[in-house]
Amino acid sequence: MAVAQVLTSEWTKIKSVRSTVWTLTTAFVFTVGLGFLISLLSKDQFSKMNAQERQFIDPTLTSFAGTSLGQLAMIVFGVLVVGNEYSTGMIRTSLAAVPRRGAFLFSKIGIATLLAFVVALATSFVTFFVGQAALGEFKASLGDPGVLRAVIGAALYMTLIAVFAMGVATVLRSPMLSLGILMPVFFLIAPILGSVEATRKIAQYLPDQAGIKIMQVVAPENDVAPYGPWGGFAIMAAWAALAVLCGWLVLRNRDA
């Protein structure tokens, strides 16, 4: 089967599954909605700060506070894109139709990644403008140094979250098991490790802890990371690439 046909087939699968469409919609709503709410609440907090404290204000990152919930939806999207094939047994039919397993997997991940990026990019720009409107006098402009990079970086961050989830789901071949591992890692283990002084240096190399740097315009007061925004993004991209590579090796060497 030609690559174009495989890509078309994978696109048809994704858009025909209602749950995957809803997860992307949820990512948009959660990210924009929570970002607006937190920006609105932060406006009052910022007004009470003194001049020294205000130098660490990052209006851009504040508007992306909803990304914490948005990434949850992106994880679910990534897991469902791959995991649905295994949970329904369709993986056997898919591999029978596309015997070249590498072409099958990378077409699926490629289409899903493109879709995730388009949604994430729209989400990122809407979130930024809505959040800055809520911040009022403390808002940042898209033309300010580092802001456009952070806005596009937020979209790249959410996209890589989905790619990482797809790789993990391909390795584990179970939606429930994948979510059972990814959720605690991103929403419990990583935040705890990042907040404890003894483990912070280890946590800063985890995918989400490193990836969030791409959304920062102003470095936090207690920032100890030995890399900048693009360094953090590279670490996160390496995690995503490793997950996909492991998924490909599992798919190539195991029966469906």
pLDDT in tens, 34-48: 999 999 999 888 887
b/e code 215-235 from CB counts within 10 Å (16+ = b): bbbbeeeeeebeeebeebbeb
Q: Decide if pLDDT at 77 tops 80.
A: yes
Residue 69: give the domain boundaries: 3-253
Contact at 8 Å (CB) between 72 and 218? no
Contact at 8 Å (CB) between 160 and 236? yes
What is the domain count for the chain?
A: 1
Using CA atoms of 99, 245, 27, 207 in order, give the dihedral in degrees to the nearest 10.
170
Which pLDDT score is estimated for 177?
Answer: 94
> Is the torsion defined by CA of 135, 230, 71, 222 positive or negative?
negative
Contact at 8 Å (CB) between 222 and 119? no
Q: Decide if pLDDT at 225 tops 90.
A: no
Which pLDDT score is estimated for 201?
Answer: 86
Low-confidence winner among 41-55, 74-88, 139-153, 158-172 (lowest mean pLDDT): 41-55
Which pLDDT score is estimated for 197?
Answer: 79
Which pLDDT score is estimated for 256?
Answer: 61
Contact at 8 Å (CB) between 101 and 252? yes
DSSP character at residue 186? I
* Per-range mean pLDDT, top range of 79-83, 154-158, 221-225: 154-158
Contact at 8 Å (CB) between 124 and 32? no
Give the mean model confidence (pLDDT) for residues 215-228.
84
**Secondary structure element (H or E) that encloses residue 39, with its range:** helix 18-47
Q: Measured in Å, how far apart are the chain's first and last C-alpha atoms?
A: 19
In angstroms, the Cα distances linking 173 to 104, 167, 237 are: 15, 10, 22
Residue 62 confidence class, pLDDT cut points 50, 70, 90? very high
Low-confidence winner among 112-121, 126-135, 149-158, 216-225 (lowest mean pLDDT): 216-225
